[in-house]
Amino acid sequence: MKSLALAGMSLAALLAGSAALQAKTLVYCSEGSPENFSPALNTTGTSFDAARPIYNKLTEFERGSTKVVPGLAESWTVSEDSKVFTFKLKKGVKFHSVRPQGGVAFTPTRDFNADDVLFAFNRQGDEKHPFHKISGGKYDYYSDMDMPKNVKSVEKVDDYTVRLTLNEPNAPILANLAMDFMAIPSAEYAAALQKAGKLEQFDQVPVGTGPFSFVAYQKDAVIRFKAFEAHTATEKAKVDDLVYAITPDPTARYSKLKAGECHFMAYPRPADLPEMQKDAALKVINQSGLNIAYWAYNVQKPPFDKKEVRQALNYAIDKNAIIRDVYLGAGQAAVNLIPPTMWSYNTAVKGYPFDQAKAKELLAKAGVTTPLDIDLWYMPVQRPYNPNAKRIAEMMQADLAKVGINAKLVTFEWGEYRKRAQQGEHTTAQLGWTGDNGDPDNFFFLRGCSGARPGGQNLTKWCNKDYDDRLIKARGMSNQEARAKLYEEMQVIENEEAPDLKIAHSVVYEVMRKEVEGYKQSPLGDHRFNGVELK
């Protein structure tokens, strides 16, 4: 009797609810499935986008810019020698509760505090931490940003104060803390899972303080979130539900967008843009991207240990044709690793013009016997910096054939591709980078020595002492002009040594339906849906 009455009441409530106010659901057609929901473990934009609605960080980037603003930290003080950072944490910040099917349910009993911050650092930095080895236990970002070397200690002063001590002064650290790998999960949730013996659930069913809470995930199909009412740390969600409809094919994404099945799509194809711009139901925005597409030579494999060979390949490729035919004009030929809009860009570096005679001459000088067989790896997926790696590879293959190099095109499944390339199994491989904190260091570290270890993000495996010394020195300085000078010198060294061919900086386009309001395109290439409304 009671249950019947309850059912009747809830039905009435449902009817009333739907009549008064329809639940607003924002559907985002995303480009792929995330590896898991712990940003600390991941390196791709796809996985970061999937976890972003759930988490906050100590500091955050303002939506639509690279400006660092307070996130879970209310304020911070920096010591004289820029080695000790003291963070005051926000009070009354609530965690989500989750009720996964067949998993451990969790309802938080306490607010966010210093323990959660310590957990975020220690899981990645402390090898004895119970969660360190879970889900593969690889923290590429943490390592590549040199955090293990840099962080001397993280201490809890009291429940709402955390003190971070560095070994050396590090200028970009506040921006680094705003990056996804420093997302703050719930330590209480971790403890609950540990008690239940289900540690793996931590990375599959995430709990954070973010504007949306996790509801469900089906691989290759859908991720569901719902707005978190008690969210206070950053901007609140303005829709009731958020759905990521995973649609790997860009043509299919476009069809869904046209049909109104999604409100927002990731990575439109350049070929579709003219038609999208004409469509009155759609809104197209763009911004020159903070990114670089490159073609890395593995300098540990002959003949790429010779500078002349690398330079020759730089001369051999017609970059302008690639910009015209693959980017369809939505990009500019790259000279330096950083895009020209970023501070410290060295305009004196001129790069390599398209000159196949010179390429042949250099190859002969290096003593390379042609025909030379090389591998040319291309990504199987579209990236913000590279609309079609296969087509670029085919153009390169044709150009290389003319200077006597036989390039064999190779690709793997996307996760496998990065893993193998980071291990250095390739001779040459395409990849790229989208900056994640607006600091030049975030680009230049890509050619640093610490990323050249097997598994590191430096795909060239190039480790040049002159370059690396300057990289580390610049990181420790807070004077922007002095840093810029070092970065300019590094660009000269890198251009001369040519560990890679820099292909292009792309213009990033975002397409959404007219109903979507308040979306701000991020120069960092991420997608954030708090503060976004449906009209």
Partner 1 sequence: MAADIAAAAGNGERVAPPERPLAAFWATFSENKGAVLGLVIVSAIVLLAILADLVAPYHPNEQFRDAVKAPPVWAEGGSWRFVLGTDGLGRDMLSRLIHGARISLFIGVSVMCVSFVLGVAIGLASAHFGGVVDVIITRTMDLIMAVPGLVLAILVVAVLGPSLPNTIVAVTLVSLPRYVRLVRASALAELSKDYVTAARVAGVGPLRLMLATVLPNCLAPLIIQAALGVSDAILEAAALGFLGLGAQPPISEWGTMLADAREFIRSNPWLVTLPGLAILITVISINLLGDGLRDALDPKMRRS
The residues of the shown chain that bind partner 1, judged by CB under 8 A, are: 249-251, 269, 271-272, 274-275, 318, 321, 324-325, 380, 388, 390-391, 393-395, 397-398, 408-409, 411
Cβ closest to partner 1, residue 13 vs residue 398: 398
- In this structure, the strands spanning 212-218 and 282-288 are unpaired
The CA-to-CA distance between both ends of the chain, in Å, stands at 42
Q: Residue 315 CB, nearest distance to partner 1 (Å)?
A: 17
Rounded Cα distance between 422 and 35, Å, is 17
Cβ closest to partner 1, residue 32 vs residue 39: 32
Q: Residue 241 CB, nearest distance to partner 1 (Å)?
A: 31
Cβ closest to partner 1, residue 163 vs residue 391: 391
Reading phi first (left if > 0) and then psi (alpha if -120 to 50, else beta), residue 151 is in: beta
Cβ closest to partner 1, residue 182 vs residue 322: 322
Rounded Cα distance between 342 and 328, Å, is 23
Q: Residue 283 CB, nearest distance to partner 1 (Å)?
A: 19
| Residue 136 DSSP label | G
- Name residues whose C-beta falls within 8 Å of residue 386's C-beta, 6 or more positions apart in sequence: 293, 379, 392, 430, 432, 503, 504, 506
Q: Residue 364 CB, nearest distance to partner 1 (Å)?
A: 25
Q: What backbone torsions phi and psi does residue 473 show, to the nearest 5 degrees?
A: -65, -45
Cβ closest to partner 1, residue 337 vs residue 501: 501
Q: Residue 473 CB, nearest distance to partner 1 (Å)?
A: 43
CB contact at 8 A, 144 and 241: no
Q: Residue 358 CB, nearest distance to partner 1 (Å)?
A: 19
Cβ closest to partner 1, residue 99 vs residue 408: 408
Q: Residue 326 CB, nearest distance to partner 1 (Å)?
A: 8
Rounded Cα distance between 97 and 130, Å, is 22
Amino acid at 352: Y
Strand arrangement of the beta sheet that strand 73-78 belongs to: 73-78, 84-89, 161-166, 151-158
Rounded Cα distance between 351 and 250, Å, is 33
Rounded Cα distance between 186 and 208, Å, is 6
Cβ closest to partner 1, residue 246 vs residue 326: 326
Q: Residue 398 CB, nearest distance to partner 1 (Å)?
A: 5
Rounded Cα distance between 136 and 121, Å, is 17
Angle subtended at Cα 486 by Cα 480 and Cα 492, rounded to the nearest 5 degrees: 135
Tabulate helix, strand, coil % of the chain (nearest 5): 35, 20, 45
Q: Residue 387 CB, nearest distance to partner 1 (Å)?
A: 9
Cβ closest to partner 1, residue 67 vs residue 408: 408
Cβ closest to partner 1, residue 306 vs residue 390: 390
